[in-house]
Structure 1
């Protein structure tokens, strides 16, 4: 430890986990779980991690619900997908189930899954066969009813004939 003025050793100050978390959060939106894990990786206890998250929420710097809604809506704009696929992506990003459900409700409030499926197929219909449309939409997480409405393919008998 370096000596301070007069040859005395300086006491090491405890890490400022709140400042670390603010800097981490300044780079990109994060979930409460990501922040808590980050400060714990930096040496904070579980209680300190929860305290940092509470303080960030109190200051308005951290809001999982608002972040989930923004992320879900942006994701649908970039990559149209079905409700179940988007839910799995939200959960895999660390959002709690109730937060993910509310974000889904918000994201799908202004657009139908049928419209999203049509958007997903835009520009692909000439280069793909109808059976490939179905497979593509299933990979994007659309349910069979939506796929059938959009493609006009009878999924029970029509795929064998295509």
Structure 2
């Protein structure tokens, strides 16, 4: 809620003081956010660093904000819609503002039930008949798969086989 303060000496109203916790809750109601995103948001609304940290701690205490759970959900959803290698998914998590340790734990969770080889095969589905092995390799590299996985899936010797194709 917004509190309105009045100046006693002049009888005028001063600028309302925002309730940063309520603002942050409304911000989180739209979609999941990272701790860094929420801190930045409340600071853009006028909170200082200390107020931002207090808001984040309260949101974490209430269970509204959890970077680890969000990172894991996001990574699993991303893999199901857009199969990719571990390195690319990690880069995307880091770009979203997750800390390295949070990203690593999310990767372990996301890849616990499916191998990178299976994901690479899923990524190639429908492409194999329309493209050549050189294009498969390029595509899988763009998706962040490592050379061992690419070699296993395409059965192309990456050191010598690409020249022959």
Picking from 80, 84, 102, the partner of 2:83 is 80
| SS of equivalent residue, structure 1 residue 26 | helix
Q: TM-score, normalised by structure 2?
A: 0.92
| SS of equivalent residue, structure 2 residue 152 | helix
1:123 corresponds to: 126
Shift of 1:12: 4.3
The gaps in structure 2 that reach 5 residues or longer are none
Q: What aligned pairs does 1:12-161 form with structure 2 within 5 A after superposition?
A: 12-161=15-164
Shift of 1:14: 1.5
Distance 1:42 1:154 in 2: 55
Distance 1:124 1:13 in 2: 58
Q: Runs ≥4 in structure 1, deviation > 3 angstroms?
A: 8-13
Distance 1:79 1:128 in 2: 19
Q: TM-score, normalised by structure 1?
A: 0.94
Shift of 1:9: 3.8
Distance 1:13 1:55 in 2: 22
Shift of 1:13: 3.7
The gaps in structure 1 that reach 5 residues or longer are none
